Each structure stands twice: as C-alpha cells, then as structure tokens.
A and B are shown apart, each in its own frame.
Chain A
Amino acid sequence: MKTASKMIHRAVLAAVVLVAATLMTSASALAQQFEKIENIPKQEIPAGRFVGIAYGIIWLAVLTYVLLVAGGLKRVNHEIADLKRRFGSGGDGSRS
C-alpha cells in the first residue's frame, strides 16, 4: 500500500516536471522568435474630423426631430381645422 502511494507521488512529480519543462521550452522558443520591428507606421486618428462628425450628428438629430414634430403638428392642425369646418355647426369640439 505504501509502495503504491510512493509510486503515485513520483508519477505526479514526474508529470509536473515534464509539463514545466515543456512550457519553459516553448516560452524560450517564443522569446527567441521575437523580432523587433522598426519604423511601425503610427496610426493617426483625425481628431478634427471626429469632433465635426460628433457635432454634426447631434445637430442633425435635433433638426430632424424638430422637422418631424413640426410636420406632425401641421398635419394634425390641418385635420382639426378640416373636421371643425365640416362639423363646426354641430359642436364646440369637446366630447359631451
């Protein structure tokens, strides 16, 4: 029983050493593969354009909304006037 336990212990230890050795080998291999790259083209993000787009979107959204609401208001008022004209003599526009 004691011998079997010792054997398992040794087997686990051997496995750990093997895994560690494999990892270290691949890590050192990766480190050797590293190459320093010179003159990488720097990514330039145009800030001015971004600021312009952001302001443009905000005011375009507000303007579109104003136009939509104004259009809706015009249409509804037109319908109200039309209904009042047709049924004007029949009531004051309030539901009794």
Chain B
Amino acid sequence: MRSLGIGFWIALLLAAAGFLIVPTLILNAPIEPVMGLVQKIFYFHVPCAIMLFLSTFVCAGGSIAFLFKGSERGDRLAVAAAELSVLFGICVLTSGPLWGRKAWGVWWQWDARLTSSLLLFLMMVGYLIARRYGGPAGRKLSAALALFAAINVPLVYKSVDIWRTVHPQTTVVPKLDARMRPAFWSAFFLMTLVWALLLMIRVRLERARGELATLRLDAEDLAEVNR
C-alpha cells in the first residue's frame, strides 16, 4: 500500500484553511441588488458546475486512454472522475432550483441550460450503471458513454448564449462586481482543491480494489496448486 504524498497533505491543509476563509469572504461580499441574499448560492453553485464539467472531461480522457491503449490507470481515473461528476451534478442540480425558486419563482424550468445539465448528469449516472451492471463489456460501454458526455459539456456551457433561457449567461463571471470577485475565486479555488483531494482518494480506492482482485486470483491459484 502506497502512502499518501506530500501534495495530498498540503492540499488538505489548504482546504481546511479555505473552509474558514471562504465563508467569511462570502458573508462580507455585497448583496446583489436585484436578487438579494439568495444570490450568495452563486459562490458555490458555479464552482460546482465547473467541477462537474472538469470531472466529465477527466472521465473522457481516462476513457480514451482505456479504449485506445487499454490503460488500466486511465480506467481507474475515469471511474473516479465519473463518480465526482455525479456528486457535483447533485450539488448543481439541488443548489440551482433553490436559487431559481427565489429568483424566478419556480423550482425548475425546462430551458436549454437546465435540461442539458440534467442530461449530462444522467449520462454520468448511466456511465456508472453501465459499468456496474454491463457485464464483461460494461467498462468499454461506459467509456464510450463518457465520450458522448464530454461532447455534451460545451453544449451545456454555450446553451445560455445560443438559446433564449431564464438562466444567466456565460458573461456573469467576467462581469462580476469587483467586490464579489475575492469570494467567488476563493470558493472556486476551495472547490478545486476539494475536487482534487476527492479524486486522489477515489483513485487510490480503485487501485486498492485492483490489488485486492489480483491477490484473490493469486490465492485461488495457490489453493489450486496445493489441492
């Protein structure tokens, strides 16, 4: 069993510091005049959405390595990232409607951004289901699904600019009030750290599972020889 690297502990320390600093920055950020207090969901909703996109891309990258080079490492990375996609998808799809209920008066709207985000989330859920219940071909099937999910990401991102939607456009972050930027970017940095830490421990679990499977096969071989 390999020990955790120094990078993991530094990231953990920074994340712990972030948990103290970021809420203070968010509380001190000015209240948005149109939406009011509920706009503060933005500081975690958007970083969660970015982590959903990032996880999907990493999953697709790992899947490509697995599909075309047979890389087990790529496959481990892909499954870890797929789980993170689902995790951050849950965060986005629950924090969004809470914000929407106050800002738009409805929990959900079948507009381009919300619907395509839900589709992306369902694709990543599909990845995990195909992998778990797809039998011997499950890993390849899910890897192919990850490629389609990655293609969907730019569509989700640009949907607010292409179609008329109730969701704010992609210009929100670049045009953010200067006094709100420290809160947003610190929250983004914290979320990225949390994402990286989660990915590291999840890949580690997958590697340990692989090692366990090999050991079990060795044990079976040994039992066969001794018989």
Judge whether A51 and B38 touch: CB under 8 Å.
yes
Using A48-B37, A73-B208 as known contacts, say yes or no to A62 and B218 having CB atoms under 8 A apart.
no
B222 within 8 A of A: yes
Judge whether A45 and B212 touch: CB under 8 Å.
no
Q: Chain B: interface secondary structure?
A: helix
Cβ < 8 Å to B, chain A residues 45-76: 45, 47-48, 50-51, 53-55, 57-58, 61-62, 65-66, 69-70, 72-73, 76
Judge whether B87 and A62 touch: CB under 8 Å.
yes
Number of interface residues of B (CB under 8 A): 37
Which of B98-106, B126-134, B142-150 contacts the other chain? Answer: B98-106
Smallest distance from the beta carbon of B77 to chain A beta carbons, Å? 15
Q: Chain A: interface secondary structure?
A: helix
Judge whether B214 and A93 touch: CB under 8 Å.
yes
A84 within 8 A of B: yes
Which residues does chain A contribute within 8 Å of B205, judged by CB atoms? Answer: 69, 72-73, 76
- Look across to chain A and name the residue whose beta carbon is closest to the beta carbon of B208: A76
B1 within 8 A of A: yes
Which residues does chain A contribute within 8 Å of B1, judged by CB atoms? Answer: 77, 80
Smallest distance from the beta carbon of B158 to chain A beta carbons, Å? 25
Using A65-B87, A66-B201, A69-B205 as known contacts, say yes or no to A54 and B99 having CB atoms under 8 A apart.
yes
A90 within 8 A of B: yes
